[in-house]
Amino acid sequence: MVQQGRIDIRIATRKSELALWQARHVAEKLAALPQTGVISLVPLSTRGDEILDKSLQKIGGKGLFIKELEIAMQTGTADIAVHSMKDVPAVMPDGFCIAAVLERANPADAFVSANKVAFADLPLGAKIGSSSLRRQSQLLAVRPDLVISPLRGNVNTRLQKLEDGLYDAIILASAGLERLGLDAHITSEFSADVMQPAAAQGVIGIECREDQQELRHILSALEHSISGQTTAAERRVAAVLNANCQSPVASYAITDGEHLTIDALVASADGSTVIRKQRAGLATDAETLGELAANDLLEAGAGELLIAESA
């Protein structure tokens, strides 16, 4: 709706505490723009949130977290959707686009343990909660003795399961814990050398329909250019590898002035094989660098490894 030259914007969001925090964060930034009117939230339940007794691989991957939000945009009950970009499939569905990404928060994975036990001090065969094959493969590459057990639910649910003694430790994204004021739970953070993050981990993205040119122009004011470049490079790796959010694939890009360096890896689920490649060049060539890194991985056997892991 347009009122007095200003555009009202309805934000589709999941109902989890973290998703609502992200949507409100975007709403505050949109409300500060001169072109916007009333900013409101449209909280929705997604299949990914509702089905907690099965792994994401078995029910369709993390794309299930955004399908209902896209339907809301298609039917006109919402104008935009706010996502954790690590949950967004590398290839957008026809008719939709990411109109802007905000400045990246902490991209690291957090190690959260019972009684603050250090990772190196975990007992032999310790039980670690994580449903991510990316995390599992990298954990087992360092500590093949660990037992990785599925962990689903929102951030507070996962922390409660740790508190209840179901795990010796769990792995969560540091950004989510920090956004919810729960970073005191972090025992330590993994360096990218040990635990390479998911593509665009820590980045909030704003999705809308491609045909909404005026809205896309308004949203572009929120784009953080450096985060846009690193996000483009990392997501390109996943796209070329045809990887989904649950594949044992990771990519992490950093910029230094006009230059960008991207690291990317593919691993076996048991951590016994890790293929890692790096590319560097101009940040303006971010997507090309991501593609080159992905092709380097394929030449080193990543394609066969991914096929074997998906069988």
CATH of the domain spanning 2-103+203-223: 3.40.190.10
Q: What mean pLDDT is predicted for residues 243-262? A: 92
CATH of the domain spanning 235-310: 3.30.160.40
Residue 243: the pLDDT is 83
Residue 99: the pLDDT is 98
pTM of the predicted structure, to 2 decimals:
0.91
| In the chain, domain spans | 2-103+203-223, 109-189, 235-310
Which pLDDT band holds residue 259 (cuts at 50, 70, 90)? very high
CA gap 176, 204 in Å, rounded: 11
Q: Which residues contact 196 (CB under 8 A, 6 or more apart)?
A: 134, 138, 250, 251, 252, 263, 264, 265
Which pLDDT band holds residue 47 (cuts at 50, 70, 90)? low
Does residue 61 carry a pLDDT above 60?
A: no
Fold match, 2-103+203-223 / 235-310: no
Residue 246: the pLDDT is 72
If one counts every other C-beta atom within 10 angstroms of the C-beta of residue 278, the result is 13
Residue among 49, 79, 87, 168 flagged as catalytic: 87
Render pLDDT for 98-124 as a digit per residue (tens, 0 to 9).
Answer: 999 999 999 999 999 999 999 999 999
Does residue 250 carry a pLDDT above 50?
A: yes
Render pLDDT for 275-299 as a digit per residue (tens, 0 to 9).
Answer: 999 999 999 999 999 999 999 999 9
Angle CA(83)–CA(42)–CA(238) in degrees, nearest 5? 15
Question: What is the number of alpha carbons within 13 Å of residue 259 lying toward its C-beta?
Answer: 5
Q: Is 270 a catalytic residue?
A: no
Pick the CATH number of 109-189 from 3.90.180.10, 3.40.190.10, 3.30.70.260, 3.40.109.10: 3.40.190.10
CA gap 199, 260 in Å, rounded: 15
CA gap 129, 167 in Å, rounded: 6
Chain mean pLDDT for the chain: 92
Q: Which residues contact 139 (CB under 8 A, 6 or more apart)?
A: 128, 130, 146, 148, 171, 195, 271
More confident residue, 91 or 169: 169
Does residue 45 carry a pLDDT above 90?
A: no
Which pLDDT band holds residue 171 (cuts at 50, 70, 90)? very high
Question: If DSSP states are collapsed to H, E and C, what string results for 74-93?
Answer: HHCCCCEEEEEHHHCCCCCC
Residue 56: the pLDDT is 46
Whether the CA torsion 26, 28, 30, 33 is positive or negative: it is negative
Residue 52: the pLDDT is 45
